[in-house]
Structure 1
Amino acid sequence: MATRRRGPTAQWDPDTTSIATNSVAGSADATELCGLTWDEFRTQWARERARREMALGSIREHLAEQPTPRSIRAVARLWRRDIAHVADELAQARQDQEHDA
């Protein structure tokens, strides 16, 4: 069975893909909106992609250490729960910061 890669970072190529977005004033390039040059944008994208791949690789290794398919699925559920919990905490903290500002 072939490994299926998922997610936009697995398919997007900053050299060949346009990231143009619409703004109130008309069409604007995303690099203009965030104040980065294309080279800076590509470097940031590569850095974020590498961080994601390292994190996913760590989770994959942990899952591969499990002795049975059932335990692999159980550990995957724990990872999902923990990631969702962290995301909820961070989202709440960001929301609290926005309300304080």
Structure 2
Amino acid sequence: MSEGGPGEPPGRSDGSEGDADVPGEWLRELHDHLAATAELPVETAASRYLGEAEAVVADALGEETPDDVVERRVEQARKLLGHVDGTGDETADQHVAAAKRLARELDEYQC
């Protein structure tokens, strides 16, 4: 599977369809973006929401995690990310924007 370009979820850039692990790839990428913000100097309020969202997504990453649990965790992460308007760090803001897009894509994919 190919990586998407900036702001594009993985698997979409080559036009291929039918990859059974698309949601798994998006979920891992979502977690990676959230984890990346932990290494950056973000504002305290944003950091709390981002840390909680990262933990929620990490809980959904297990191979044996039931689909309904994954769906709930993605929805929780999306709601938590909705509280983050800015982080005070440009790179973190880019990770947050990508995480928000991925969370929306996962919600739409699972519907």
Q: Same fold (TM over 0.5)?
A: no
- Greater Rg by CA: 1
TM-score, scaled relative to structure 1: 0.30
TM-score, scaled relative to structure 2: 0.28
Q: Which has the higher contact order (CA 8 A, sep 6+)?
A: 2
Q: Which structure is higher in strand share?
A: 1
